[in-house]
Structure 1
Amino acid sequence: MWSTSTPARVWVVGTHGGSGETTLAKLLGGTATDHRWPSISPQPPVVLVARTHAAGLAAAQLAMRAWAAAETPHVRLIGLVLIADAPGKLPKPLADRAEILRGGVPHMWQIPWVDAYRLDVDPTNPPRQVRKVLNELDTVIATTH
């Protein structure tokens, strides 16, 4: 478990390696947890993150089940962010699986493929579609404190 006495605006928990945990934490001004649930008091706001490939969606589902079964430290789960694993639309089987996951978390957002993020993440100038997701996340984070 992640253990710290330092409060964070939001904790970003990657559900698998390569999930985009560090990228999302940088964009949100949050703290990446190295794929571990934070275990601090007071209850920290947490966002899960996964890629949209089959393995990523399966890992997200496992993390969501652990949270729902109270097998994790007590956290305020804000939701799940799915980050595109490739440009373009999700194939139907993956889109269907992502839609099923939506029902297991308070909120779910999808960030499209951003080719520039392969080189570096500039949190000061995200593309419009990413900015929209970040604004929605900011609103939910602000109302959960």
Structure 2
Amino acid sequence: MSTLARLAGFGMDFGKGWPLLAPTMPLSQVVLVCRASASGTWAATGAIEQWRRRSGMSRINVLGVVAVAASPRRPPRIAAERLALLRGWAPQLWRVGWVDALLAADDPCDVGASPDVEALRSAIWQKVRPTPEGRR
């Protein structure tokens, strides 16, 4: 399980398995996660473009993209430009800042969730929890 999924308390890391889903999953609520680096944002823009074209992805509902800081510095210009594209293409773009303490932690839960992760958890939970009428 990824650090972000452990800190958020829900989710599953499919790694680089996009867009493969288990056959038993009827409709999958998906949040794509990338590093705010050139290669990370390149992969995310490709995944979002596939989803936008709906290339065999009728069962996938992308809720948004999470860009996790790759360092304590601002992202490089190419990554920032791609994040701007993602902001327009994806239903939502969330940013999670750098947390230096996670580098030395065996278990990210020992460090705890940053305010960015807490806000992300709340935002995603609002999108996926059932409404009182039972709809999503």
- TM-score tier, shorter chain, comes to 0.7 to 0.9
DSSP 3-state at the match of 1:61: helix
Are 1:125 and 2:101 an aligned pair?
Answer: no
Paired with 1:123 and 1:54, the residues of 2 have a C-alpha distance of: 30
Paired with 1:77 and 1:123, the residues of 2 have a C-alpha distance of: 30
Unaligned runs of 5+ in 2: none
Q: Which has the higher helix share?
A: 2
User: Normalization by structure 2: what TM-score?
Assistant: 0.79
- Structure 1 residues 64-108: Cα deviation after superposition (integer angstroms, max 9, x where no partner): 111111224321111100100000322444323211111111111
Query: Residue 53 of structure 1 corresponds to which residue in structure 2?
Result: 37
1:76-115 correspondence runs (5 A): 76-115=61-100
Distance 1:51 1:78, change over 3 A: same
Unaligned runs of 5+ in 1: 1-20
Are 1:30 and 2:30 an aligned pair?
Answer: no
Q: How many percent of aligned residue pairs carry the same amino acid?
A: 28
Q: Give the aligned residue type for 1:56.
A: G
Q: Give the aligned residue type for 1:45.
A: Q
Distance 1:88 1:35, change over 3 A: same
Query: Residue 60 of structure 2 corresponds to which residue in structure 1?
Result: 75
Paired with 2:47 and 2:110, the residues of 1 have a C-alpha distance of: 26
Question: Is the 1:27–1:123 contact (alpha carbons within 8 Å) kept by the matching residues of 2?
Answer: no
Paired with 1:137 and 1:124, the residues of 2 have a C-alpha distance of: 21
Query: Residue 135 of structure 1 corresponds to which residue in structure 2?
Result: 122
- Structure 1 residues 112-139: Cα deviation after superposition (integer angstroms, max 9, x where no partner): 0111222231188312232122211221
User: Normalization by structure 1: what TM-score?
Assistant: 0.74
Question: Is the 1:47–1:81 contact (alpha carbons within 8 Å) kept by the matching residues of 2?
Answer: yes
Query: Residue 48 of structure 2 corresponds to which residue in structure 1?
Result: 64
Question: Is the 1:52–1:82 contact (alpha carbons within 8 Å) kept by the matching residues of 2?
Answer: yes
Q: CA RMSD in A?
A: 2.3
Q: Give the aligned residue type for 2:70.
A: D
Q: Give the aligned residue type for 1:31.
A: M
Count of residue pairs brought into register by the alignment: 125
